[in-house]
Chain A
């Protein structure tokens, strides 16, 4: 049962444009959401997070939006750079037990 879903396995964007990565979840109990970035042959690294009491969090070129009623979050990268090319995973935390649930990932390619 996949509680966190990323329906786009891949995305290609021109350098300088906006990248929008989407994530949907099914469990309304999730209270914290994170985005991780993964390069080949490396472990995922933390990128940005958002609490369920907020609807937006911004960190430099990265902004995460949360729509609780739609159980949807998105990651915006502006402007996109070739170094952003990686697989992006969204994750949600269930408050009981602090369990992290990961999506299936979206492979982003930023074309120079």
Chain B
């Protein structure tokens, strides 16, 4: 079974530039999450999708971050314009369903460095 795919693995940009990250969850997983993990901290939820609908985006900085999951499968997270404090690893995760109390399956993450 293929895991959660993310790209790019690494990205370096200057502040005020834009960046986009892509995630393809495990086939059949209805719930998709984007997490931000800053060095030395635990993953922080940015947005949670159930199929193509948003369940929770309360911690997404909507003035600069946006995410979509148009067909209920893969998802894109965009940052525009980037700030220095956006330097982090962006983790995508998926699970079978919103009510699943089992595990999240994480991708390898996309490491963003903002200079």
A97 to B105, CA, bound (A): 17
Q: How far is the CA of A45 from the CA of B41 in the complex (A)?
A: 16
A89 touches B43 (CB 8 A): yes
Q: When chains A and B are docked, how far (Å) is the Cα of A102 from the Cα of B98?
A: 17
Q: Does A49 lie within 8 Å of B108, measured CB to CB? A: no
Chain B residues near A34 (CB-CB < 8 A): 103
The interface size of chain B toward A, counting residues with CB under 8 Å, comes to: 27
CA distance A97 to B41 in the complex (A): 23
With A41-B108, A43-B109, A44-B91 as known contacts, state yes or no: A51 contacts B42, CB within 8 Å. no
A21 within 8 A of B: no
Point out the residue from A4, A97, A101 that lies within 8 Å of B48, measured CB to CB: A97
Q: Which of A64-112 contact B (CB under 8 A)?
A: 89, 93, 97-105
> Quick check: is B45 within 8 A (CB to CB) of the other chain?
yes
Could you say which residues of chain B place their CB within 8 Å of the CB of A41?
108
Contact A99-B104, Cβ < 8 Å, known A43-B91, A43-B109, A104-B41: no
Question: A-side interface residues toward B, CB under 8 Å?
Answer: 4, 6, 9, 31-32, 34, 36, 41-46, 49, 51, 89, 93, 97-105
